Structure 1
Amino acid sequence: MKRRCLLDATIAALAAGALPASARGQPPQAEQKRLQAHVRFLADPLLEGREAGTRGFDLAAAYVASQFAQLGLKPMGDAGGYAQAVPLKSARLAATPPTLEFCRGAACERLAWLDEFSTRPDMARAHAEMQGELVFVGYGITAPRFGIDDYTGLDVKGKIAVALAGRPLKLPSEEGAHFGNGRTKQELADRHGAIGLITLATPRSDRVSPFHLNRQYADAVYMDWQAPEGGGGNDVPGMLGTATLSVQAAPRLLAKITGDYAGLVADAEAGRPLPRGELGLSARLVRDTVHGQARSHNVIGCIEGGRRKHEFIVLTAHLDHLGRKGDVIYPGAMDNAMGVAMLLETARLLAQSPGTLERSVLVIALTGEEKAQSGSSYFAQHPTVPAQAMAAAINIDMPVLLHDFKDVVALGAEHSTLGAAVERAARRLGLQTSPDLMPEQSRFTRSDQYSFVRCGIPALILGPGGASFKRGEDGNALINDFRRQRYHQPGDDLSLAFHWPAAQRFAQLQWELVRELAQQAERPRWLPGDFFGELYGRQGGR
């Protein structure tokens, strides 16, 4: 029966691709049945959760490539095909659990693995040890524009930095997501000469990412694209180790400088000065890692433009999900079969749009978003078009389409001229734009658009807001319930109550936005004095 359902979904999707385009001279319209057919295929249990490097992902990638071919997209992968190979290095913790101990002189205390601390495999080394003195660096942030420099007066060279999770609440949403990002903190600690970073969970960070969920990922296989020297492409070379302490364990580490951890966290969140400095402790972290190799690929096609066809608007959605654990499959229907369905339907509308698109549109189904954004990071650093030719990137990732939304949230829009284009596209569909109501989720740095931002390319991600055309419907409650109950769980499956008219509207919005960016005379650019434009814009020459 499962095979028959999968076959029916395949036939329905392929038949949809063969239907005639919209009437000549009329704007093409997104269609619910096409979106449904794509989601039904990609979230079918026979694809086993589409984990990067598995047969299930390869089947999904072949499906996307066949759709690209039917739409007439030009192959833009390797060797004249749609696939761009992404070499992956895998890593999982060995059967022997990691150890972390703190010492004050000769007296040492060992923390309980997964109850009091967590850590991840080492991408570069099979046996890794980190040992050094501990220095508390507040949030571990240097942001002169916002009056923050947690490393002022501190010497962490050859030592281990200890930082609170997250960021001060006064920071704006996207900038806060950047500074609170673990990799940003590692890079800063590395620049100051630290050899490792220990992160202290706070009550706020524990609500966003509960520490107890580390048990769920204790035996997880992590991946990154493999750098020529053998490590992970996203490694911070100077970091010998990282770990996170639970809210219960964190206060013991700061006993020398405060007896009131809750008070210290409250001061930090309010932006008040913190008692930073040496903790009078040393730490030793030991990990054993089992490495492997895998191969996956991005699927890349192009809709060629007109006079500016050598400039590209990049449209992305990640194709992978979490795979399976034993007999339990994580189908990833909303995350991100829905996003790939949007990608394919938007590509169809663009391919059938009346008139000529001035810029070309590069359409990419990415691998490895669930593996440290490895597919987008690899493509952004190894593009199959000239790097300077990528004018902007629009990412589609897990639009939670469960209500009749009438507003959208565009993370990243306010940093570039993309914001004005979003406003215009939304108005044409009778939609409003709203600010990020969940800045604590740090969503701007947690998906593939950030890989392009780090390479200097203006980028954003759209999602439905909480307002609804249906009186009395609370979209935020539905979105939050999905995140609590279904996100990254087996229940993200085809039983979800998808709101297909809303999905149709969302696909139409994507088409409106990308079409405008491909047609407008001015190339998208960072706004004058913008934080990300000044931080990364010179890399992309924008």
Structure 2
Amino acid sequence: MTGLRRRPLLQALGTLALPALAAAEPARGPQADLARLQAHQRFLADPLLEGRETGTRGYDLAAAYVASQFAQLGLKPRGDAGGFAQAVPLKTARLAATPPVLELCRGTSCERLAWLDEFSTRPDIALARSEVSAPLVFAGYGISAPAFGLDDYAGLDVKGRIAVVLSGRPPQMPSEQGAHYGNARTKQELAARHGAIGVITLSTPRSEIVAPFHNNRLFADSVSMDWVTPEGHGGSDIPGMQAMASVSVQAAPRLLAALGRDYATLIADAEAGRPLPRGELGLSARLTRDSVHGQARSHNVVGFIEGRHPRLKHEVIVLSAHLDHLGKKGDAVYPGAMDNALGIATLLEVARLQAHSATRPDRSILFVALTAEEKNYLGSVYFARHPPVPATALVANINIDMPILLHDFSTVVALGAQHSTLGAAVERAVRKLGLNTAPDPQPEQSRFTRSDQYSFVRRGIPAVILGPGGSSFDAREDGDALMREFRRLRYHQPGDDLSQSFHWRAVQRFAQLQWELLAEVARQPERPRWQPGDFFGELFGSRR
């Protein structure tokens, strides 16, 4: 893992090495400028910003930079009080010095799981001291998906109990629908609707690939956040849900012993889509947490370009990217050069292309740098619920998050595209650059529900997020291998820094692609809509 290169910020901005680019696409209209993309990224990922964690000075500096760029481009401010900043009221919680306790009890005999080796949990945002004790019930994956023949709560009584569920979802489910059902919040909401007061999630070999349990140790002392309603409640509260914890692969078999099926066999059955045993586990659990509460301030940065069409200008596209990252842990800075300084650099360059375009777009556009994505997407949840324009005017979201641009990509993965008429716009934009679309090469990552676009989907707004596919114009490159290596070695690590071997032609092409897509959506004659009978349209479309 490459260490951070300490150097003065102004020197970094003045020593950009600009490689000669062999143009893979013919010139057509405004072209993305690589030097600007590099300059934005180098500023935002510089160690002096200390990882841009929500609520810190480093984030505020990054937000001021974005606002100054918006102002320079002539975007209209659409934040609070005539400025670019939309304040997101936040409350914070951190685990107290006394570690949490999770005990498994059979009758009067109890065993305590080892904190961070065998279980993890987050602070309680609502209570300074939380103590929950209840019987355990195994509910399979904790999913109710009738369209896929799956209802883990059928005939199961979890009222007043803690539901024990496997992480993720059956691998046979389609990628994006599976991402919804496997989402932790979706599972907690469903368990609460069935009367459960808590959820314990069991790690699996598959979940270890996506998010190794030992990573919990790195962020055990991190601050949790939630946005605050005018009444002072947590905006992400799930009524009735009092306890959440995760249990490691090593400890999981101890919770499931009463099922009469060993853990390895149960996981094999789950992977194969075979029925799982469900029911009482003959155990109760006691979870105790002490939390220290506080408040934080942060904000989204919002700029606006008004459309020119008499009718379509009242329909607004949101182009978004998250500005925050993980901050600083001890002496280690997490710069987030790929995640998501590169995404914000792309957003700024697309805003420049639009601002300098010879013609204004038909539809209006909101350019939004979002806070608190790394805190469960709080900035986008707040923005989608409190947009600076009428909520019914929002017609589409194009989100940019962590494009892993290490190879000369020739294919594009467009998560969400097939669910709405945005898919046609994606195809047109991709073809303009001589590219092709490709299926999600890593469906186990559940990326569609793991970034800000999902906050818009949950409000009934069609959304899409683009990323590079594994194919490359350079036959010597294995894009899938390079992206897997990034996720294994650098994702959410200090090594996501400016020393990485970014493929600059790919960076430029990706920005051009985002511009082409935005232009396509801005001028298509019909308002973006969910496809007839689409899963997400049926699930969330009524919220419009």
TM bin, normalised by shorter chain, reads over 0.9
Please tell me the residue identity of whatever aligns with 1:445: T
Please tell me the residue identity of whatever aligns with 2:94: R
Q: Is the 8 A contact 1:124 1:230 kept in 2?
A: no
- Residues 503-530 of structure 1: per-residue CA shift (max 9 Å, x gap): 1100010000001101111111000000
**Unaligned runs of at least 5 residues, structure 2:** 17-26
**Which residue of 1 is the match for residue 9 of structure 2?**
6
Q: Is 1:493 the counterpart of 2:497 in the alignment?
A: yes
- Partner of residue 274 from structure 2, selected from 272, 295, 302: 272
Distance, in Å, in 1 between the alignment partners of 2:491 and 2:7 is 27
Please tell me the residue identity of whatever aligns with 2:442: M
Q: Is the 8 A contact 1:251 1:259 kept in 2?
A: no
- Partner of residue 257 from structure 2, selected from 244, 255, 260: 255
1:523–1:12: structure 2 CA closer, same or farther, 3 Å change rule?
Answer: farther
Distance, in Å, in 1 between the alignment partners of 2:145 and 2:252 is 25
Matches within 5 A, 1:316-465: 316-465=320-469
Please tell me the residue identity of whatever aligns with 1:193: G
**Which residue of 2 is the match for residue 289 of structure 1?**
291
Please tell me the residue identity of whatever aligns with 1:199: T
Percent of pairs identical after alignment? 73
Distance, in Å, in 1 between the alignment partners of 2:7 and 2:267 is 55
Distance, in Å, in 1 between the alignment partners of 2:356 and 2:524 is 18
Q: Is 1:244 the counterpart of 2:217 in the alignment?
A: no
Q: Is the 8 A contact 2:76 2:303 kept in 1?
A: yes
1:91–1:414: structure 2 CA closer, same or farther, 3 Å change rule?
Answer: same
**Which residue of 2 is the match for residue 60 of structure 1?**
62
Please tell me the residue identity of whatever aligns with 2:109: A
* Residue 259 of structure 1: how far off its partner (Å): 3.6
Distance, in Å, in 1 between the alignment partners of 2:6 and 2:174 is 49
**Which residue of 1 is the match for residue 538 of structure 2?**
534
- Residues 181-223 of structure 1: per-residue CA shift (max 9 Å, x gap): 1000000000001000011111111121111111111111112
Q: Is the 8 A contact 2:422 2:462 kept in 1?
A: yes
**Which residue of 2 is the match for residue 481 of structure 1?**
485
Distance, in Å, in 1 between the alignment partners of 2:210 and 2:194 is 28
- Residues 346-369 of structure 1: per-residue CA shift (max 9 Å, x gap): 111111223331100100000100
Q: Is the 8 A contact 1:116 1:249 kept in 2?
A: yes
Distance, in Å, in 2 between the alignment partners of 1:259 and 1:47 is 51
Matches within 5 A, 1:148-159: 148-159=150-161
* Residue 274 of structure 1: how far off its partner (Å): 1.3
Q: Is the 8 A contact 1:26 1:354 kept in 2?
A: no
- Residues 278-322 of structure 1: per-residue CA shift (max 9 Å, x gap): 111111110011111110000000111012211111000001111
- Count the aligned residue pairs: 528
Please tell me the residue identity of whatever aligns with 1:524: P
* Residue 255 of structure 1: how far off its partner (Å): 0.8
Please tell me the residue identity of whatever aligns with 1:337: A
* Residue 8 of structure 1: how far off its partner (Å): 4.9
- Residues 24-57 of structure 1: per-residue CA shift (max 9 Å, x gap): x961100110001101111111111111111111
* Residue 456 of structure 1: how far off its partner (Å): 0.4
Matches within 5 A, 1:14-413: 27-307=29-309, 308-413=312-417
**Which residue of 2 is the match for residue 22 of structure 1?**
none
1:228–1:237: structure 2 CA closer, same or farther, 3 Å change rule?
Answer: farther
Distance, in Å, in 2 between the alignment partners of 1:319 and 1:510 is 17
Give the TM-score normalised by structure 2.
Answer: 0.95
**Which residue of 2 is the match for residue 16 of structure 1?**
none
Bigger CA drift: 404-413 or 201-210?
201-210
3-state SS of the aligned residue for 1:508? helix
Please tell me the residue identity of whatever aligns with 2:160: G
* Residue 227 of structure 1: how far off its partner (Å): 2.8
Please tell me the residue identity of whatever aligns with 1:160: I
Q: Is the 8 A contact 2:105 2:111 kept in 1?
A: yes
* Residue 435 of structure 1: how far off its partner (Å): 0.5
Q: Is the 8 A contact 1:465 1:476 kept in 2?
A: yes
**Unaligned runs of at least 5 residues, structure 1:** 14-24
Please tell me the residue identity of whatever aligns with 1:330: Y
1:345–1:131: structure 2 CA closer, same or farther, 3 Å change rule?
Answer: same
Please tell me the residue identity of whatever aligns with 1:58: D
1:403–1:277: structure 2 CA closer, same or farther, 3 Å change rule?
Answer: same
Distance, in Å, in 2 between the alignment partners of 1:532 and 1:144 is 14
Distance, in Å, in 2 between the alignment partners of 1:230 and 1:203 is 40
Please tell me the residue identity of whatever aligns with 1:68: F
Please tell me the residue identity of whatever aligns with 1:129: E
Distance, in Å, in 1 between the alignment partners of 2:6 and 2:111 is 55
1:4–1:119: structure 2 CA closer, same or farther, 3 Å change rule?
Answer: closer
* Residue 229 of structure 1: how far off its partner (Å): 4.2
1:107–1:503: structure 2 CA closer, same or farther, 3 Å change rule?
Answer: same
Distance, in Å, in 2 between the alignment partners of 1:227 and 1:109 is 39
* Residue 12 of structure 1: how far off its partner (Å): 9.3
Q: Is the 8 A contact 2:324 2:340 kept in 1?
A: yes
**Which residue of 1 is the match for residue 21 of structure 2?**
none
